[in-house]
Amino acid sequence: MIEFDNVSMRFGDLTVLEPFSLSLAERRVAVIGANGSGKSTFARLINGLLAPSTGTVRVDGLCTAKDARAVRRKVGFVFQNPDNQIVYPLVEEDVAFGLKNLKLPKAEIAARVDAVLARYGMESLRLRPAHLLSGGQKQMLAISAVLVMEPAYVVFDEPTTLLDLRNKRRVAAAIAEMPQTAVVVSHDLEFLTDFERVLVFEAGRIVCDAPPAEAVPFYRELMAAEAGGV
Amino acid sequence: MFEICLTRITWLHRIPAGVKLFALAAAGAAVFLTDDVRILGGLVAFAALLPLSAWLPARPLFRQIAPALVLIAALAAFHLVTGDPRDAFLVSARLGTVILLAAALTFTTRVSAMVDALERVLTPLKCIGVDPAKAGFTLALAIRFIPVLFTMIAEIREAQRARGLEGSVFAVVMPLLVRTLRMADDLAEAIAARGYDGN
Ligand SMILES: Nc1ncnc2c1ncn2[C@@H]1O[C@H](COP(=O)(O)OP(=O)(O)OP(=O)(O)O)[C@@H](O)[C@H]1O
Ligand SMILES: [Mg+2]
């Protein structure tokens, strides 16, 4: 369970998130909203990459500000641009990176890397240099490198924005079938249809919190109204 | 750039990474400490035979060393023009040795193995404040991001060419600076998100 208790976020004088309280217990939560509305900031609060200006964020009771290290082991994070999160030159080395930090035995690392690469159909890429992969393959690598850590939650910040339609579908399918709880920030509305809950952000506020059947039309209308007003 | 060949394991692959790194460092020091033409000739010949002896794939190997060969040719030409064939040989043999050996190393050694070896070597220096894990990680990141940087330069140059700004160094350097700084930020965040906190 992810709990926001009276959380707000400011950068200097700029208020990016107005105070809100919220708890997320659904397995699939989507976050949508205009550029600059505060989605990424919201996502970063969940795994302690950002500490809230006021209030507390808890994941399974752990405070993200005080127990950042434990929270990060529990919550994986996948970014929009895989180029910025792949740290090792070789696919299998990169997947092993986080496990090595945990100082796990070599045999266990190898077994877990094998399992994750097999699961996402990437065995044939394991000895490839990461910089030669396609965009979709890179994002699948980034996702594998997060899932190999076996987090209980995974936050995705626009995981499909840079991908073509086929790779968008591949990534969406991988997210759909993960056993983990996922919070997904996305502009790809078509992938949200089987999510349980959608949060719509607008200028630092959550303006709609509903299942997709209600939230997506609300968001479309919101965007259309603004376009009309300009 | 920093390709590795793991499709076929050769005798060069089997030598421990630490030994190869040490040999490269030793050869690097040796070529700059001697100016004996025979020794340098021997070293560069050895360095050229090494990849051949392991049948490393020629084309990717050549692609990797080609930019350095251009540089060597330019330096050699400079020395020849200024009338010093011996210097031309010395500079080509020195750089040639190091570049060939470095290529043989990167072609047959995983970065993670090099990082582990470096960490082991640096462990005794902990008492004077060196952090072996950080040093190793820095090496891994450098190797990972050099190709990314080259791709970025190529993209920016292409974009500037499309705008007719191909002559301007500034038009390449500015976006490159902005993008690398942003990338560094994103990377630091991604590394934190992956549970690495410098210990
Ligand atoms: N580190 C920071 N310092 C100052 N301002 C920031 C910082 N991070 C974000 N902001 C500002 O906070 C606001 C919300 O940013 P955020 O990245 O959360 O938006 P977003 O909804 O993810 O937008 P996008 O769809 O473009 O990704 C923006 O106005 C942004 O400029
Ligand atoms: Mg964002």
Counting residues of chain A whose pLDDT is more than 90, the rounded percentage is 64
CA B191 to each of CA A21, A97, B195: distance values in angstroms, whole numbers, following the listed order: 29, 10, 7
CB A68 within 8 A of CB A46: no
Q: A2-228 adopts what CATH topology?
A: Rossmann fold (3.40.50)
Task: Express each pLDDT in A29-88 by its tens digit.
Answer: 999 999 999 999 999 999 988 999 999 999 999 999 998 888 988 999 998 888 888 888
So what's the pLDDT on residue A211?
Answer: 95
User: Going by DSSP bridges, is the β-strand pair A28-33/A181-185 parallel, antiparallel, or unpaired?
Assistant: parallel
Report residue B193's pLDDT band, with 50, 70 and 90 as the boundaries.
Answer: confident
Confidence of residue A8 (pLDDT cuts 50, 70, 90): very high
Residue of A nearest to B186 (CA): A84
Residue B170 pLDDT level (bands cut at 50, 70, 90):
confident
First to last CA, chain B: 30
ipTM over 0.85: no
pLDDT at B199: 55
**With bands split at pLDDT 50, 70 and 90, how would you rate the model's confidence at A228?**
low
Residue A229: the pLDDT is 54
- Tell me the pLDDT band of B3, cut-offs 50, 70 and 90: low
CB atoms under 10 Å from CB of B81, counted, come to 9
Return the residue whose CA atom lies nearest to atom 19 of ligand 1: A36
Largest distance between two CA atoms of chain B = 58
Residue B127 touches partner A, C-beta closer than 8 Å: no
Say which of B4, B189, B196 has its CB closest to residue A101: B196
Residues 1-40 of B with CB under 8 A from A: 2-4, 6-7
Q: Which of residues 148-167 of B touch A (CB under 8 A)?
A: 148, 151
| pLDDT > 90 fraction of chain B, expressed in percent and rounded | 18
pLDDT at position A121: 85
Rounded Cα gap, residues B194 and A157, in angstroms: 14
Identify the band that residue B147 occupies on the pLDDT scale cut at 50, 70 and 90: confident
C-alpha torsion sign, points B103, B104, B105, B110 = positive
pLDDT tier for residue B148 given thresholds of 50, 70 and 90: confident
User: What does the pLDDT average to over B155-159?
Assistant: 82
- Contact between B194 and A85 using a beta-carbon 8 Å cutoff: yes
Strands A2-11 and A54-59: antiparallel
How many Cβ atoms are within 10 Å of B95's Cβ, its own excluded?
18
Three-class secondary structure of residue A28 per DSSP: strand
Q: How far apart are CA A84 and CA A45, in angstroms?
A: 19
Which ligand 1 atom sits closest to the C-alpha of A41?
A: 18
Domain boundaries, chain A: 2-228
Q: ∠ at Cα A166 (A165, A167), nearest 5°?
A: 95
